[in-house]
Structure 1
């Protein structure tokens, strides 16, 4: 039966990876809930799947506690750069 499932849906393909697993020290939703409201709103409407930890790092480096607007601008700049880079990958242009 398992072979039938694997043939139809390729069940468990990520579980066979040889890559080292990373353990989370904190629950992801707990990290998300601890983010400032402005950053949470931005994450809820962003285009890419950001991790709360990476968004928090950028927010802190951009001075989000002192100037939330500047931090959100920096997050938007980074996201737009990533989207442009991704578009080049899929279009075949370098």
Structure 2
């Protein structure tokens, strides 16, 4: 029943995932706690670092994380939940 919590790109990784997560900046850890997808600490650190370098603003970097998540959900929704997701209901 855990299928809805996995991404097609998710893989098992070696190393200490909790230590990697604990090493993330506090705003990123807070964002990850409410994220819809199970992001790896490596992916989050890469996105955060790039967005912070480009914008110089932590709020803009967090918005970039949210945009990346929305894009991933759009791209992978059919593969994760099936081609009929979300089902269109007629009014």
Any gaps of 5 or more consecutive residues in structure 1?
1-21
**Residue 37 of structure 2 aligns to a residue in which SS?**
coil
Higher gyration radius (CA): 1
CA deviation map 1:29-85 (0-9, x unaligned): 111111111000000000000001110100000017941111111111111011111
> Which stretches in structure 2 are left out of the alignment for 5+ residues?
1-11, 86-91
Structure 1 residue ranges, 4+ long, deviating more than 6 angstroms after superposition: none
| RMSD between aligned residues | 2.4
Aligned to 1:34: 23
Structure 2 residue 90 is matched with structure 1 residue 85: no
Normalising by structure 1, we get a TM-score of: 0.64
TM-score between both structures, scaled by the size of structure 2: 0.66
Aligned residues: 71
SS at 1:63's partner residue?
helix
> Taking CA–CA contacts closer than 8 Å with sequence separation of 6 or more, which of the two structures ends up with the larger relative contact order?
2
